[in-house]
Amino acid sequence: MSFANASSPTKGELYEGIEITVNVNTASAEELAVMLVGVGAKKAGEIVKYREAHGDFASIQELENVKGIGQATIEKNVERILLH
């Protein structure tokens, strides 16, 4: 069986069935980009910049204050996000 023509799995497919959590108060931008759905390097960097400027996130909803992060992104990741 050859996989040469098989498409690469998406991030969601790659981790399907695995419980993924990430602490947004301690994770690096690289970790956030890999672990959160719909968050790439740029948005992950914005999360880290916001955290450095304002301190730890007190609630998941506070992520909406980060440039590029909206309710839809939070909803996609609500089960992945840890605050402590």
For residues 52-74, give the mean pLDDT: 97
Does residue 67 sit within a domain? yes
Does residue 22 sit within a domain? yes
Lowest mean pLDDT across 7-16, 23-32, 66-75: 7-16
Does residue 7 sit within a domain? no
Q: What is the CATH number of the domain that holds 61?
A: 1.10.150.320
End-to-end alpha carbon distance in the chain: 45
Residue 10: pLDDT band with limits 50, 70, 90: low
For residues 23-34, give the mean pLDDT: 97
Does residue 25 sit within a domain? yes
Distances in Å between the Cα of 44 and the Cα atoms of 41, 55, 81 are 5, 16, 13
Place of tokens 């939070």: 74
Q: Where are the alpha helices (DSSP H) in the chain?
A: 11-14, 29-35, 41-54, 71-77
Q: What is the pTM of this model?
A: 0.79
Range of the domain at 69: 17-82
Does residue 27 sit within a domain? yes
Tokens of 49: 């910049």
Does residue 12 sit within a domain? no
